[in-house]
Amino acid sequence: MELLILNGLANGLIVGGIYALVGVSLTLLYGVLRVVNFAHGEFVIAGSFFAFVLFSTLKIPPLLAVPLAAVAFFAAGWLLYYVLIPRLARSDDPELMSFLMFYGVSIAAAALMLLLFEADSRSIDFTFTPISVQIGPIYISTARLVALAITIVISIALALFLFRTLPGKALRAAIMNPEAIQIMGVDIVRLSAFAFALASSLAGVTGVLVALVFPAFNPFSGAEYTIIAFIVVVLGGLGNPVGALLAGVVFGLAEQMATVFLPQALAQIVGFVILVGTIFLRPSGLLGTRFRR
């Protein structure tokens, strides 16, 4: 039992790191643009397929796929922003319409991946040597440890970026008060495009990590990650990047512990219950500081 719990904790931390990244990118996007990317999970899975294709055709290892995905998805996000968002802003209720539009994007993205890769579950059969590492009494696969390390590096880099650099501070300011920042002379359109690109880039990288950590993925896995992203974002407080990082880890731990202690059927419901419970009991999230709308 103790071993199970330790395993659960370790896996919770690793999975939680991924959830944190899934959530932080979505929350950044919502914070700056006030759009809800329903297709976020599909973006992530697209990252997984990106790594899959790189490995299966060009033999590029997943580690190298991380920076490549970052660049490719950043560019794709930048482009997608200018195609989708400016028109959206002119509708009556941009927030809700964005939800609807990305609903369409998510269907289209899943369908596209289905056309390209078919419905079968894929995995990357890349292995590290050694395959696993012993830490105390438990064994953890090297791939998962590498993923955890990358998650931590990205999180720290992101935090430094948001709190130490000028563009990062501009992003945070835009989250807190979108009207004021325009008066301050910041080009909100470029900043938004950047936020969208950054969020897409993070989603793509997360997808590569998903391919490392989880046994398999298919075109329909996206929906699960969208839900996970919602859970993390709500738990962390809408538009709060630090909250999302924390919430991702908390949710990862909760989910993995649930699989230890609860029958599998109930463990699946845990996420939904956390989501609904948070919105009703603590709508401003774990940290309790709701960013001003």
What does the per-residue mask of binding to another protein show for 168-207, with x meaning CB under 8 A? ----------------------------------------
Residue 208 CA from chain centroid, whole number: 11
CB of residue 224 to another protein, shortest distance in Å: 10
CB of residue 91 to another protein, shortest distance in Å: 4
Taking CB under 8 A as the rule, does residue 217 contact another protein?
no
Residue 172 CA from chain centroid, whole number: 18
Name the segment binding another protein (CB under 8 A); options: 48-56, 179-187, 197-205, 226-234: 226-234
CB 50 within 8 A of CB 65: yes
Contacts of 235 (CB under 8 A, 6+ apart): 23, 243, 247, 250, 251, 274, 275, 278, 285, 286
CB of residue 40 to another protein, shortest distance in Å: 12
Picking from 3, 55, 47, 1, the residue whose alpha carbon sits closest to that of residue 21 is: 47
What does the per-residue mask of binding to another protein show for 237-266, with x meaning CB under 8 A? ----------------------------xx
CB of residue 96 to another protein, shortest distance in Å: 6
Name the segment binding another protein (CB under 8 A); options: 19-27, 51-59, 192-200, 267-275: 267-275
CB of residue 48 to another protein, shortest distance in Å: 19
Tell me the one-letter amino acid at 151: T
Range 268-277 contact pairs with CB under 8 angstroms and sequence separation of 24 or more: 271/227, 271/228, 271/231, 272/227, 272/231, 274/231, 274/235, 275/227, 275/230, 275/231, 275/234, 275/235
Binding another protein (rule: CB under 8 A), the pick from 54, 181, 275, 286 is: 275
Binding another protein (rule: CB under 8 A), the pick from 88, 173, 176, 186 is: 88
Binding residues for another protein restricted to 96-115, rule: CB under 8 A: 96-97, 99-101, 103-112, 114-115
Rg, the chain, Cα only: 19
What does the per-residue mask of binding to another protein show for 129-168, with x meaning CB under 8 A? ----------------------------------------
Query: What are residue 135's DSSP bridge partners?
Result: 138
Helix locations, the chain, DSSP H: 2-33, 40-58, 62-88, 94-117, 142-164, 166-176, 178-183, 188-213, 221-236, 241-261, 264-281
Q: Taking the CA of residue 271 as centre, how many other CA atoms within 13 Å lie in the half-sphere pointing to its CB?
A: 23
Within a 10 A sphere around the Cβ of 120, how many other Cβ atoms? Answer: 8
Taking CB under 8 A as the rule, does residue 281 contact another protein?
no
CB of residue 83 to another protein, shortest distance in Å: 9
**132 DSSP 8-state letter:** E
Taking CB under 8 A as the rule, does residue 269 contact another protein?
yes
Binding another protein (rule: CB under 8 A), the pick from 4, 135, 273, 288 is: 273
Picking from 69, 146, 190, the residue whose alpha carbon sits closest to that of residue 181 is: 190
Q: Which residues bind another protein (CB under 8 A)?
A: 36, 84, 87-88, 91-92, 95-97, 99-101, 103-112, 114-115, 223, 227, 230, 234, 265-266, 268-269, 272-273, 275-276, 279-280, 283
